[in-house]
Amino acid sequence: MNTDLFGIIFGFLITVVLAVPFGKYISKVFKGEKVWTDFFAPLENFIFKISGIDPNEDMDWKKSMKAMLLLNVVFFIWSFAVLLLQGVIPILNPAKIAGMEPSLAFHSAVSFVTNTNMQAYFGETGATYFSQMLVFTFLQFVSAGTGIAALALIFKGLTQRQASNLGNFYNLFLKSCTRILLPLAFVVSIILLLNGMPQTFKGLQHTITLQGDTVNVATGPVASMISIKQLGTNGGGYFGTNSAHPFENPNYLTNMVENFSILFIPIALVFTFGYYLNRKKLAWIFFGIMTVLFITFVAINVHYETAGNPLISKMGINQSLGNMEGKEVRFGAAASAYWGVSTTSTSNGSVDSMHDSQMPLSGGVYLLDMMINALYGGVGVGFINFFVYIIIAIFISGLMVGRTPEFLGKKIEAREVKIAALVLLVTPFLVLVPTAIASYAVTKNPNLPWLNNPSFHGFSAMLYQFASCNANNGSNFAGLGINNYFWNILGGVVIFLGRFIPIIGPVAIAGMMAEKKYIPESVGTLKAESYTFAFMVLGIIIIVSALNFFPALALGPIAEHLTF
């Protein structure tokens, strides 16, 4: 147990230590300063030339959001078409895998375009090598690049003095892919390859087992996908069991490397804020707020997963290894709990154990993590979501002291607050309303082949599904059957709205703030670098989440916990 805890503490500390200088590097990329990856410039210029894009064109927030949506529509059309037709594409399909059913193709395409990567299919039997590489792996780069570029627009907006220009979305997007994601993915891929992860096009491998049976083992270009899967907080795996599969996560070292990759860029982007705006202390305060909740969630889950299941203990069964149902022995209960909090604190969604099999309060923590959706969060969008909480906290603080709220020298007025409030209200709407519809459908027709678990746990599974869709997380409770028209279509709609509304709203706020006159801080200004402001933001996160979601959590994981 002490060794397991040491692994968790060491893994988190090394992530933070390396994230700080990498945050400074990202800031230089955003500002267009000289960096060691400038050798990508000819490639970037070539892409801009053949696409007819001027990377130096000034864009306000409206132009930037139009560019973002247009680009993502193109990515969706490409991926949807390929997934439908993959069975007739004559290359990179040695296993002769057929095209996807239309609703599944829609769900998979919108899921990967939005950085959600929820998989209602098994990758080894449902996707060809062509689809795995030129749809799923490709989208894991560009969807992550979209989130990072959107955050860069907000940073630019917060530094402007009465100007509408937020930079060029296309330029920021491409550099996010080439100068941030690609170099890291290359390094992580090499580490994974050296630890036994496959990277091949040989097709099914015929193997004779110890019992003398002949089996066909699926392999493929795995390592190249898994690196960007984790670094881009994507989570979409090559195999159906994701990072619990030995080919996606061979040993404890790869488990630590992948967990590091999940958290690395989201944490680095918090420090990028400090370097880009020259507000390093404020960046540490924001990091501290996120980390207090993150460590609290890790402590809760490690405790419950290492303590074991009390119902099994009553049967006289030894649980010295903790609650090992749905977990890999090579990782253990503690590392699995740490991974679970990491993957739901970000919008990653990959799993190295089955969340459906963890203790009720552990599942409740994962749910709350996704409902907050701002503890580090997905690459770019995590800090964007946190920015909304900042706006609300500033507004309430201003009311308390009786003056117009200000942030970084800009007044926060009715328009900004209304947009922030709308973004915050979208989350409970997209989570609770579809969960209510699904619950009603199950009540009216108990024979629906959705739930493998009844009662509180079944409700938690449906709540988890839509929380995961809205947070663009992609993980799920394995006991829920989701590959059908209801879950594919409704889930796809929630995924789409949960992705783009929380991006467009905060970028609009930043664009409006950029056009405002700068106001120097005065005696009455609530300083953002103060502990008072930090507690205010932390309190807003807790209170808003509790008001929105406590009743639903009480009906699911909390009620299930009380039955033990």
Look at 405 and 392; give whichever has higher pLDDT: 392
pLDDT for residue 346: 93
Three-class DSSP category at 85: helix
Look at 238 and 208; give whichever has higher pLDDT: 238
Rounded Cα distance between 196 and 199, Å, is 9
pLDDT for residue 162: 78
How far from the centroid of its chain's Cα atoms is residue 266's Cα?
A: 9
- 8-state DSSP, 166: -
What is the domain range of residue 255? 2-562
Condensed to tens digits (0 to 9), the pLDDT of residues 320-355 reads: 888 999 999 999 999 999 999 999 999 999 999 999
Three-class DSSP category at 21: helix
Q: Which residues pair with 406 in a beta bridge?
A: 411
- Count of Cβ atoms closer than 10 Å to residue 430 Cβ: 23
Mean pLDDT for the stretch of residues 37-57? 94
Confidence band (pLDDT; 50, 70, 90) for 530? confident
Please list the helix, strand and coil fractions of the chain in percent, rounded to the nearest 5, in that order. Answer: 65, 5, 30
For the chain, the distance separating the N- and C-terminal CA atoms, rounded to the nearest angstrom, is 24
Confidence band (pLDDT; 50, 70, 90) for 254? very high
The structure tokens listed for 393 are 């906290």
Asked if 361 and 557 count as a contact pair (C-beta separation under 8 A), the reply is yes
Rounded Cα distance between 46 and 41, Å, is 9
Cα-atom radius of gyration of the chain, to the nearest Å?
23
Condensed to tens digits (0 to 9), the pLDDT of residues 8-17 reads: 999 999 999 9
Condensed to tens digits (0 to 9), the pLDDT of residues 271-314 reads: 999 999 999 999 999 999 999 999 999 999 999 999 988 888 88
Rounded Cα distance between 126 and 142, Å, is 22
Residue 36 has pLDDT above 70, yes or no: yes
Mean pLDDT for the stretch of residues 455-472? 94
* Closest of 267, 466, 451, 230 to residue 367, by C-alpha: 466
Asked if 15 and 267 count as a contact pair (C-beta separation under 8 A), the reply is yes
Residue 538 has pLDDT above 90, yes or no: yes
- 8-state DSSP, 132: I
Taking phi over 0 as left and psi of -120 to 50 as alpha, with beta for the rest, 18 belongs to: alpha
pLDDT for residue 523: 67
Residues of the chain with pLDDT > 70: what percent?
Answer: 98
The structure tokens listed for 352 are 């190295």
pLDDT for residue 430: 96
- Count of Cβ atoms closer than 10 Å to residue 403 Cβ: 14
Q: Which residues touch 414 (CB under 8 Å, ≥6 apart)?
A: none
Mean pLDDT of the chain: 92
Rounded Cα distance between 93 and 201, Å, is 9
Condensed to tens digits (0 to 9), the pLDDT of residues 125-175 reads: 899 999 999 999 999 999 999 999 999 999 999 998 878 889 999 999 999
Residue 408 has pLDDT above 90, yes or no: no
Q: Do β-strands 205-208 and 406-407 pair in parallel, antiparallel, or remain unpaired?
A: unpaired
Residue 2 has pLDDT above 80, yes or no: no
For 403-472, give the DSSP string: S--EETTEE--HHHHHHHHHHHHHHHHHHHHHHHHHHHHHHH-TT-TTBSS-HHHHHHHHHHHHHHHHTT
Residue 492 has pLDDT above 90, yes or no: yes
Mean pLDDT for the stretch of residues 256-277? 96
Prediction pTM value: 0.95
Confidence band (pLDDT; 50, 70, 90) for 212? confident
Mean pLDDT for the stretch of residues 414-422? 93
Mean pLDDT for the stretch of residues 76-91? 95
Mean pLDDT for the stretch of residues 11-40? 96
Asked if 65 and 504 count as a contact pair (C-beta separation under 8 A), the reply is yes
Confidence band (pLDDT; 50, 70, 90) for 1? low
pLDDT for residue 320: 84
Rounded Cα distance between 166 and 215, Å, is 56
pLDDT for residue 313: 83
- Count of Cβ atoms closer than 10 Å to residue 340 Cβ: 27
pLDDT for residue 524: 65
Asked if 509 and 391 count as a contact pair (C-beta separation under 8 A), the reply is yes
pLDDT for residue 266: 96
Mean pLDDT for the stretch of residues 244-254? 94
Rounded Cα distance between 351 and 370, Å, is 14
Residues of the chain with pLDDT > 90: what percent?
Answer: 75
The structure tokens listed for 365 are 């923590």
| Residue 99 burial (C-beta neighbours within 10 Å; 0-12, 13-18, 19+) | middle
Q: Which residues pair with 353 in a beta bridge?
A: 327
Condensed to tens digits (0 to 9), the pLDDT of residues 366-388 reads: 999 999 999 898 898 999 999 99
Confidence band (pLDDT; 50, 70, 90) for 453? confident
If one counts the domains in the chain, the total is 1
The structure tokens listed for 266 are 């989201």
Q: Which residues touch 396 (CB under 8 Å, ≥6 apart)?
A: 536, 540
Asked if 138 and 185 count as a contact pair (C-beta separation under 8 A), the reply is no
As a three-state string, the secondary structure of 466-516 is HHHHHCCCCCCCCCECCCCHHHHHHHHHHHHHHHHHHHHHHHHHHHHHHCC
Asked if 432 and 554 count as a contact pair (C-beta separation under 8 A), the reply is no
Mean pLDDT for the stretch of residues 175-199? 96
Mean pLDDT for the stretch of residues 534-551? 92
pLDDT for residue 203: 78
The structure tokens listed for 392 are 């609300």
